[in-house]
Amino acid sequence: MTPAISLTGLSRRYGDQLAIDDVTLQIDGPSITGLIGRNGAGKTTLLRIIAAQEFATAGTVRVLGSSPVENEAILPNVALVREDQAFPQFRVRHALEAASLFYPHWSAELAEELVASFELPPNRWVERLSRGMRSALGAVIGLAARAEVTLFDEPYAGLDAVARRVFYDRLLADYAEHPRTVLVSTHLIDEVSALLERVVILDRGRIVLDAGADEARSAFTRVSGAVEAVEEFVAGRAVLERRRIASQESAVVAGGLHDGDRPWARELRLTLEPLSLQQVMVQASARAAQQSKEREQA
């Protein structure tokens, strides 16, 4: 099967700064993948390159088997919804009409339902919409396009908790009926983590973790208990964080647990907890920074 998205050795340089640094990533078929990382990690640049709105300095991009650049056979199957979506002087319904002409799998029915769910006024000029409403319009277009490759770049700027819930529920429901390749960049990680099948963590333009959502969650473990017991347990493991209070210690170790670890931890009266994805991102980024410093010193 042709992968939906295939990036090989991809880099993007702005002057002397590498926004994307040697990224190789393949997304095969239908899935919801989270692209997470700190601000400036390169998420937007990466999505824009996949949608051919930006060009790579080096490496190759294949979307649905071909280069997306100026490719009229591919681009109608790629929808990129950006946080700062700019619409020309359109009313809401005009923006939807324009999208319906561009995307071959457009569902007018779904668009109408979503407009109602988000309480969007169809006749209002887009430039008069609040920030949240403009985001909602972007979400409507991104979902109703039913594009084979759907890219959401921080789709919910200005959306309140209720509207975000609508977005997540609609995304899940429509994805179940019409599976497609969804890549969503986000900093509200814990809020979307359950929706994700796979997680790609970007840090300073590099992929520092690419795993199934469950594997990503077990990539780091917090070990807490009495100081001596924690130290005994973490000896020989990569420890990323240590905190102490009185006779208690809490440490974060990298790498999955082994079969004997749980009974041993019970014996030592330790608590083992996986980190949330938000914390995984923080630790993965910290670990990448630590490793690159070590490389420089070597």
Partner 1 sequence: MLDDATPIFTQIADRLADEIADGGLAEGDRVPSTNELAAYYRINPATAAKGVNVLIDDGLLEKRRGIGMFVAAGARERLLEDRRRSFAERYVEPMVAEANRLGLDGDALIDLVREVGHAQGALER
Write out the residues near partner 1 by the rule CB under 8 A.
31-32, 168-169, 172-173, 175-177, 194-197, 213-214, 217-218, 266, 273-274, 276
Least distance (Å) from partner 1 to the CB of residue 44? 23
Cβ proximity to partner 1, 173 vs 289, nearer residue: 173
Nearest CB to partner 1, comparing residues 98 and 213: 213
**Comparison of 132 and 274: residue with beta carbon closer to partner 1:** 274
The residue among 111, 159, 171 whose CA lies nearest residue 135 is: 159
C-alpha span between 89 and 94 (Å, rounded)? 9
Residue 176 beta carbon to partner 1: minimum distance, rounded to whole angstroms: 4
For the bound state, the minimum distance from the C-beta of residue 167 to partner 1, rounded and expressed in Å, comes to: 12
Shortest Å, Cβ 225 to partner 1: 14
Q: Whole-angstrom Cα distance, residue 205 to residue 239?
A: 24
Distance from C-alpha of 138 to C-alpha of 144, rounded to nearest angstrom: 10
Q: Which is nearer to partner 1, 126 or 219 (CB)?
A: 219
Alpha carbon distance 21, 23 (integer Å): 6
Rounded least distance, CB 112 to partner 1, Å: 21
Residue (7 or 280) nearer to partner 1, CB: 280
The least distance separating partner 1 from the CB of residue 276, rounded to whole angstroms, comes to 5
State which H helix or E strand residue 10 sits in: strand 5-14
| 13: number of Cβ within 10 Å | 14
Phi first, then psi: what are they for 222, rounded to 5°? -95, 125
Task: Give me the helix-helix angle, 131-144 and 161-177, nearest 10°.
Answer: 0
Between residues 98 and 254, which has the closer beta carbon with respect to partner 1? 254
Q: 3-state SS string over 200-211? A: EEEECCEEEEEE
Neighbours of 237 (CB within 10 A): 16
